[in-house]
Amino acid sequence: MPIQTLDDIHALESVPLVERDLAPNTYEALQRCAQRNPQASALSFFVDAADFTHTHEWNYAQLFAEITRAANAFHDLGIVPGEVIAFVLPNLPETHFTIWGGESAGIVMAINPLLEASQIADLLRAANARVVVTLAPMPGSDLWPKIAGQLNRLPDLRHVVWVSMEPYVNHQFGAALRTMAMQERDLHKQVLIHNDLRALMMFQPADTLKSGRKISEDEISSYFCTGGTTGLPKIAARTHGSEVFNAWAMAAQMQPRESGQVLFCGLPLFHVNGQLVTGLMPWTQGDHVILGTPQGYRGPKVIERFWNMVEHFGVNFFSGVPTFYAALLQQNPGDNDLSSLNYALCGAAPMPVELFREFERRIGVRLLEGYGLTEGACVSSVNPPQGERRVGSIGLRLVYQDMRAVVLDAQGKYLRDADLEEVGVIAIHGPNVFHGYLEPSHNLGVWIEINGQRWLNTGDLGRQDADGYFWLTGRKKELIIRGGHNIDPKQIEEVLQAHSSVELVAAVGSPDAYAGEIPVAYVQLRPGHSCTEDDLMQFANLRISERAAMPKRIELLESLPLTPVGKIFKPALQQREISRVISQEIQTAGLTEVTVQIVQDSRRGIVARISAGLQREALEPRIGRYSFQVEWTE
């Protein structure tokens, strides 16, 4: 049945979840679908967007066979349940073989390949990874050099497994890659390096797990790094049951739908959306996934030729972050037939209202804004595709997953549910909620006890309206979200705080029409010290290893705003940034009769109240490119 309202969710929940007969683990979930649809198209992969019609194909029987072979290969490397296989890979079919085969043998840990080498090593050590799967030495790739330089810091690492690009390149280039790999392997004797994952898989059984493992829904399936891309993030431990449920519930939310839909995957496979929404979910529904280039949406010509790809493959669904949709708007669909497109999902960062409306108007596809977090498997709420899509809302909660705005006391304990339209902390409870963080100290303040149940404190602030739609009003955890990537402000602050002239520092996100937010830093100097903003920028540039976290601007203030108890009051700085951006837009548009007031609204969070009179028509499209809340007044 289609989900249009909260009543429809309640109707689905009238059937106990246990009667839905969900698979207990990801391996069995994939197996069931492969048995139902053995000859249906499951995966198409192309290396180059300039030649996207040249694809490598797997049907369901072949895909499941590859996953099983990978599981058996990892088993033969000595991986047992509870041990970690980490991958540092671009978007390749072998990445999926590693993820789902690895979960059948042990625990799979996704690592962002854009991280600095030392950060990758820190994560591998923290998770006690036994096997690392990464790209074989290849011209133009820095993945192997990053890991090779850290091997002496990884005494517990037993195996390195290379993924070769040889199956996807011409014979001459493939021969050169083999030679390069053999030469490089001879330089590193401290760990056993396997030339190619496919070679390990080649003679493995394709229809049964050699381990004989029976995996329960409560066993750990994966580790994901969360809480920021800089420094050493928290490591979230997720279960097989949470992933299977989230894939099933998301599919249920998108009903009615037919098996065999075509989904385009352009988000990275080290991210939960790439794995779940364009991986496990479609492969438990009989759908066809198009994996577009190793770099995904960042690949050369992917955005430029995206509408051609939609027509060629008959794409029904894709997901992305606001920056991706903004970039797509710069590409004219021309004569491409986009009639196959049913909807597109937007998450990871707030969608600017003007961008939402302009995309739907020009492209003619329904956008679904949603909300989710790694600790909730992936998706927790989404606007109903068959119901009312409220712009700016994160939609209705998933079926069988409860979601509330709650009021907490000063110690973070539950007081009561927030009233309708009252802002509270967003909390979720359901089968998709993760097991906890690997480091026990990271679990402090994560759980809320409500009527004897353990709920997840998401750290986000929001409200629920009378029809069950949720609206985010702020982020208590203060992450800066740049182009869908999380940046922990502490990493910027700790670097600048080490400068001898700095007394206080606060990093916040400044609204950006393209990236959503960009990091900026405010600094208060020590009494009697002098230092320029350029000096601080140079200091930060030498010490912040993650380029995305480098502040775009550092501003000196005589004193930073403080709360009554002496803590830095970041909302005041965020209001300052919003005011600054609006002033720039007013000046660029050459407008004069505009007044702006930035306020902290008890229901909506930070709101920009703008009075522009007859000039509103010229200003509104410019302001609509940003994701902050706006209220137009007379």
pLDDT tens digits for range 50-70: 999 999 999 999 999 999 999
Percent of the chain with pLDDT over 90: 68
Residue 284 in tokens = 């438990």
What is the C-alpha separation between 296 and 273, in angstroms, rounded? 13
pLDDT of the residue at 563: 66
Where exactly are the structural domains of the chain?
20-370, 480-560, 572-633
What is the C-alpha separation between 446 and 452, in angstroms, rounded? 15
Q: Of 378, 376, 353, whose CA–CA distance to 269 is shortest?
A: 378
Q: Of 447, 454, 474, whose CA–CA distance to 629 is shortest?
A: 474
pLDDT of the residue at 476: 63
Q: What is the pLDDT of residues 21-40, one digit of tens each?
A: 999 999 999 999 999 999 99
Q: Spell 249-268 as b/e; 16+ CB within 10 A means b.
A: bbbbbbeebeeebbbbbbbb
What are the φ and ψ backbone dihedral angles of 437, each rounded to 5 degrees? -85, 150
The answer, yes or no, to whether residue 205 has pLDDT greater than 90, is yes
The answer, yes or no, to whether residue 566 has pLDDT greater than 70, is no
Question: Homologous superfamily of 480-560 in CATH?
Answer: ANL, C-terminal domain (3.30.300.30)
210 DSSP assignment: T
CATH class, 20-370 region: alpha beta
Q: What is the mean pLDDT of residues 202-224?
A: 97
CA distances in angstroms from 166 to 86, 135, 140, 144, 174, listed in the order given: 22, 11, 15, 16, 5
Q: Burial level of 435, CB count in 10 A (0-12/13-18/19+)?
A: middle
The answer, yes or no, to whether residue 561 has pLDDT greater than 50, is yes
Global pTM reads 0.82
* Residue whose pair of structure tokens reads 């998108």 in the numeric block: 254
Residues 605-614: contacts with CB within 8 Å, 24+ apart? 605/423, 605/461, 605/472, 605/473, 605/474, 605/629, 606/474, 606/571, 606/574, 606/575, 606/578, 607/631, 608/578, 608/579, 608/582, 609/633, 610/582
What is the C-alpha separation between 521 and 506, in angstroms, rounded? 6
Strand 629-633 with 605-611, pairing: parallel
Confidence class of residue 266 from pLDDT cuts 50, 70 and 90? Answer: very high
pLDDT of the residue at 486: 75
Cβ neighbours, 10 Å, residue 525: 19
* Residue whose pair of structure tokens reads 């929001």 in the numeric block: 462
What is the C-alpha separation between 421 and 441, in angstroms, rounded? 34
- Of 186-200, 304-318, 436-450, the range with the lowest mean pLDDT is 186-200
Inter-residue contact 247 to 33 (CB < 8 Å):
no
Inter-residue contact 432 to 477 (CB < 8 Å):
no
Q: What is the mean pLDDT of residues 422-433?
A: 95
Beta-bridged to residue 416, according to DSSP, are: 407
Q: Of 373, 372, 103, whose CA–CA distance to 234 is shortest?
A: 373
The answer, yes or no, to whether residue 434 has pLDDT greater than 80, is yes
Inter-residue contact 306 to 313 (CB < 8 Å):
no
pLDDT of the residue at 231: 41
**Better pLDDT: 603 or 363:** 363
* Residue whose pair of structure tokens reads 């407008």 in the numeric block: 591
Residue 600 in tokens = 């902290």
Q: What is the dihedral of CA 434, 437, 438, 439, to 10 degrees?
A: -170
pLDDT of the residue at 227: 56
Q: Confirm whether 20-370 and 480-560 share one CATH topology.
A: no
Beta-bridged to residue 41, according to DSSP, are: 59
Q: What is the mean pLDDT of residues 509-516?
A: 90
Inter-residue contact 273 to 246 (CB < 8 Å):
no
CB-hemisphere CA count at 13 Å for 543?
15
Q: Among 180-194, 353-367, 413-427, 594-608, which range has the highest average pLDDT?
A: 413-427
Confidence class of residue 397 from pLDDT cuts 50, 70 and 90? Answer: very high
Q: What is the mean pLDDT of the chain?
A: 91
Q: What is the mean pLDDT of residues 153-158?
A: 92
Beta-bridged to residue 266, according to DSSP, are: none
pLDDT of the residue at 602: 58
pLDDT of the residue at 232: 52
Residue 228 in tokens = 């920021």
Confidence class of residue 230 from pLDDT cuts 50, 70 and 90? Answer: very low
The answer, yes or no, to whether residue 228 has pLDDT greater than 80, is no
Inter-residue contact 425 to 405 (CB < 8 Å):
yes
* Residue whose pair of structure tokens reads 């600095």 in the numeric block: 116
Beta-bridged to residue 554, according to DSSP, are: 521
Residue 334 in tokens = 């021309």
Q: What is the pLDDT of residues 478-505, one digit of tens each?
A: 778 887 777 878 789 888 988 999 888 8
pLDDT of the residue at 353: 77
The answer, yes or no, to whether residue 82 has pLDDT greater than 70, is yes
What is the C-alpha separation between 497 and 505, in angstroms, rounded? 6
Confidence class of residue 603 from pLDDT cuts 50, 70 and 90? Answer: low
